[in-house]
């Protein structure tokens, strides 16, 4: 009997061990702190990459799968026809082809181990949770799937969606204008020249959607091979996108330059599917995109898959498409390199500015500002990217000829030739999606170099950049404390001269409208003028709601042609302002019975059953962008219910990481906050537990210390337990 019990125990023990160790090739432990943030510890970097992907699957497997399905060109199964359109774009851009060609050539064997680990984690999680798998076509997850996800993220950040819509839709404008609202961000670094305690400060604050694809996932990764970093990444990535390690940190913000060109090909009249370049005939490479479309009404529960084939073409200029206007090619750096994931990983592991700066020479990250700080008192800001060296003599703002090798650019500006600032005397660098020639004190900003003239940098300032200069002028002549740093971070004001957020004309004229010229909206104009004294986006402000209603109801609906018209025709702009205010006044009186409504009643931070008022606003340092939302509330007498229109914040302040390296040695002090929580699983403990901190402009403590993680552990386990 004892022998049988021993054998039973042995069998059970083996079973338990096999269950607790999902994959014996990776040795990793996940420590969840009191906010559910995963601190991932492993012997090797690959172990940690496995744990990072596995933890992300635990917290939001649906979004991880979204990225993998995007990489596979299978979003049509998840999203139906709209997903299939994205799948066609993926294949049109040739993403699978370039990965197949360059996977082993361009990525080191060491880094490919991390991709292998990430794929193993995805497969292991899917096998353990088959009921959560969206489609069996996803399995097995391949290491190359992660590369496609990185490439497509970079392409989207450069505005490729706008270019594809123009070409495929048969409408190629003279100058492409992309929607920039969803790609705003802030970053600020200060060195000991300006801080009262002699420390180094860094604000990591990229503005992304608060949930879903392209939202942030917070994690701490730590291996015995020297990888110890804290920050944020996209769900399912194998390293952090931005954050800090023991010695340094960096923040990304989107920079705006002409990253995409559209070429009109000259077709050879004598040969079908041939085009002429300098008189020489070239054959269009013809391929087929295979698309799977789920036509079921309830795609989460049912599958009705239709598989179709659609032609795509490739020329020497890049992805090519035929429409009624002709044949056009799209060229962009984002589908010419697969090095971005390895570059990010090496940035994670850099020990000082020299190492970090050398990594940037890879130019795998094809756009994004980088604002950098380290414990050695170095600060740096660069308008980073793969910026084409273009020929003179062409209007690169519009469609260019695709019949000459002169327009076929193949090289990029060296990194040292990009606009940058290193250790300015003023002691601070920043970016807020403003022009690349404005990143520090005005007398220390980088000059425009002759070699940059065809890059097509955006020259506009944002409200955030103008406001920062105001704040720094207000504090000029003294050193700044950590509280001053936080005051800047959470500033809720527009500058004294308001630009139109992400448009080319100014909105300042709305505050100079004369009540006597518009008697029917004189009360609304007066409220705007009162608001313009402080220009504040505070919860209690009873004048801001009218302006915000105008922005969301009228201003953000301005399209490119209207933008160009208003830039040239002030009278037309003022008429639009007046008509918009009439519309807003009517709606506010119907909704609230008054035009003086506290902003917190209108701007809401909502998830599940939690519905909170929140500060900030579009293009403020405390950036908030929203969608219209109808909320049910009691009427004033409590007798019945009515609906009121509110704004549900969905973009902007999504993840914040604040780092403080004290004077001398030591780990940085870290404070962070997520808009909702570490989990995107409804009903989970950490689904909404950071929301109150978020709206109260508070943060939680985090650390790179292993001891700290175990001391604050809520749960310690191995993947699969």
Phi/psi at 404 (5° precision):
-150, 140
- Could you state, in order of their start, the residue ranges of all structural domains in the chain? 43-179+261-335, 182-258+344-392+413-489, 508-653
The secondary structure element, H or E, covering residue 147 is: helix 143-157
What pLDDT score does 637 carry? 52
pLDDT tens for residues 121-161? Answer: 999 999 999 999 988 888 999 999 999 888 877 777 777 66
Residue identified by tokens 């730590």 is 222
DSSP string, 237-276: -SS-SEEEESSEEEEEE---S--EEEEEEEE-TTSTTEEE
CATH code of 43-179+261-335, in short, is 2.30.120.10
From 12-16, 170-174, 482-486, 507-511, the region with the lowest mean pLDDT: 12-16
Residues 163, 172: Cα–Cα separation, whole Å: 8
Residues 110, 346: Cα–Cα separation, whole Å: 11
pLDDT tens for residues 664-716? Answer: 878 999 999 999 999 999 999 999 999 999 999 999 999 999 999 999 999 99
Per-position b or e across 26-54, b if 16+ CB within 10 A of its CB = bbbbbbbbebbbbbbbbebbbbbbbbbbb
What is the dihedral angle through the alpha carbons of 470, 471, 474, 479, rounded to the nearest 10 degrees? Answer: -140
> pLDDT band for position 70 (50/70/90)?
confident
DSSP string, 199-227: -EEEEEEEEEESSSTT-EEEEEEEETTS-
Give the pair of three-digit tokens for residue 633.
Answer: 């509330």
Strands (E) in 285-399, as ranges, are 285-294, 305-315, 318-323, 326-332, 369-374, 379-383
What pLDDT score does 630 carry? 55
Q: Which of 74-83, 87-96, 140-149, 175-184 has the highest mean pLDDT?
A: 140-149
Specify the pairing of strand 641-653 against strand 603-607: parallel
Residues 111, 118: Cα–Cα separation, whole Å: 11
CA distances from 606 to 231, 491, 547, 692 (A): 24, 22, 21, 11
Residue identified by tokens 């299939």 is 84
**CA nearest to 161, candidates 228, 259, 65:** 259
**CA nearest to 419, candidates 456, 458, 445, 386:** 445
Range 169-181 average pLDDT = 39
Q: What is the DSSP letter of 643?
A: E
Helix (H, G, I), strand (E, B) or coil at 634: strand
CATH code of 508-653, in short, is 1.10.1400
From 22-26, 163-167, 171-175, 322-326, the region with the lowest mean pLDDT: 171-175
Cα of 371 vs its chain's centroid, Å: 15
Phi/psi at 139 (5° precision):
-100, 145
Q: What is the DSSP letter of 353?
A: H
Fold classification of 182-258+344-392+413-489 is 3.60.20
From 10-24, 152-166, 321-335, 471-485, the region with the lowest mean pLDDT: 10-24
The secondary structure element, H or E, covering residue 148 is: helix 143-157
């Amino acid at each position: 009997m004892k022998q049988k019990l021993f054998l039973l125990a042995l069998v059970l023990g083996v079973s338990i061990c096999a269950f607790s160790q999902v994959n014996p090739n990776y040795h990793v432990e996940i420590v969840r702190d009191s906010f559910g943030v995963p601190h991932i510890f492993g012997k090797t970097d690959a172990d940690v990459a496995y744990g990072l992907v596995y933890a992300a699957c635990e917290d939001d497997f649906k979004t991880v799968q979204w990225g993998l399905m995007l990489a596979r060109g299978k979003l049509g199964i998840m999203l139906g026809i709209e997903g299939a359109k994205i799948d066609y774009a993926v294949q049109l851009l040739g993403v699978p082809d370039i990965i197949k060609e360059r996977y082993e050539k361009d990525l080191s064997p060491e880094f490919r181990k991390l991709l292998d680990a990430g794929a193993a984690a995805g497969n292991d999680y899917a096998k353990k949770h088959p009921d959560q798998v969206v489609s069996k076509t996803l399995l097995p997850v391949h290491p190359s799937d992660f590369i496609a996800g990185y490439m497509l993220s970079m392409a989207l950040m450069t505005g490729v969606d706008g270019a594809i819509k123009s070409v495929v839709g048969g409408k190629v404008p003279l100058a492409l204008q992309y929607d920039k609202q969803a790609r705003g961000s802030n970053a600020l670094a200060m060195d000991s020249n300006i801080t009262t305690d002699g420390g180094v400060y860094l604000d990591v604050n990229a503005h992304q959607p608060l949930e879903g694809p392209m939202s942030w996932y917070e994690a701490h990764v730590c291996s015995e091979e020297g990888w110890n970093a804290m920050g944020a990444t996209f769900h399912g990535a194998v390293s952090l996108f931005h954050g800090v390690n023991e010695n340094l940190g960096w923040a990304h913000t989107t920079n705006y330059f002409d990253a995409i060109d559209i070429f009109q090909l000259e077709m050879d009249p004598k040969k079908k599917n041939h085009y002429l370049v300098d008189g020489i005939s070239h054959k269009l490479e013809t391929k087929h995109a295979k698309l799977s479309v789920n036509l079921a009404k309830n795609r989460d529960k049912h599958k009705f898959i239709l598989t179709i084939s659609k032609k795509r073409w490739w020329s020497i200029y890049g992805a090519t498409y035929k429409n009624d206007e002709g044949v056009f090619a799209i060229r962009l750096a984002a589908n010419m390199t697969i090095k971005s994931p390895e570059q990010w990983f090496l940035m994670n592991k850099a020990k000082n500015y020299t190492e970090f700066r050398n990594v940037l020479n890879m130019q795998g990250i094809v756009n994004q500002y980088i604002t950098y700080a380290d414990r050695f008192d170095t600060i740096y800001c660069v308008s980073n990217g793969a910026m084409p060296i273009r020929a003179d003599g062409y209007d690169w703002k519009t469609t260019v000829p695709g019949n000459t090798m002169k327009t076929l650019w193949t090289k990029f500006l060296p990194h040292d030739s990009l606009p940058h600032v290193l250790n300015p005397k003023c002691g601070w660098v920043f970016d807020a999606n403003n022009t690349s020639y404005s990143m520090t004190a005005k007398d220390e900003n980088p000059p425009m170099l002759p070699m940059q003239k065809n890059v097509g940098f955006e020259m506009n300032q944002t409200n955030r950049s103008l406001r920062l200069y105001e704040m720094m002028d207000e504090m000029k002549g003294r050193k700044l404390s950590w509280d001053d740093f936080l005051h800047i971070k959470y500033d809720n004001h527009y500058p004294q001269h308001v630009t139109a957020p992400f448009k080319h004309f100014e909105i300042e004229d709305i505050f100079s409208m004369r009540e006597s010229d518009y008697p029917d909206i004189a009360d609304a104009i007066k409220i705007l003028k009162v608001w313009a004294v402080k220009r504040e986006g505070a919860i209690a402000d009873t004048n801001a709601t009218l302006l915000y209603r105008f922005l969301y109801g009228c201003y953000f609906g301005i399209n490119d042609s209207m933008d160009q018209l208003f830039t040239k025709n002030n009278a037309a702009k003022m008429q639009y302002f007046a008509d918009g205010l009439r519309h807003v006044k009517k709606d506010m009186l119907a909704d609230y019975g008054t035009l003086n409504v506290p902003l917190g009643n209108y701007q809401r931070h909502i998830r599940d059953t939690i519905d909170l008022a929140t500060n900030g606003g579009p293009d403020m340092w405390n950036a908030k962008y929203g969608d219209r939302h109808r909320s049910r509330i009691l009427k004033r007498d409590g007798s019945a219910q009515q609906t009121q229109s509110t704004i549900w914040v969905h973009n902007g302040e999504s993840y914040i990481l604040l780092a403080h390296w004290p004077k001398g040695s030591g780990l940085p002090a870290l404070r962070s906050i997520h808009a909702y929580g570490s989990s995107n699983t409804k009903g989970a403990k950490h689904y909404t537990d950071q929301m109150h901190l978020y709206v109260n402009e508070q943060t939680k403590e985090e650390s790179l210390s292993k001891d700290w993680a175990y001391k604050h552990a809520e749960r310690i386990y191995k993947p699969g337990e």
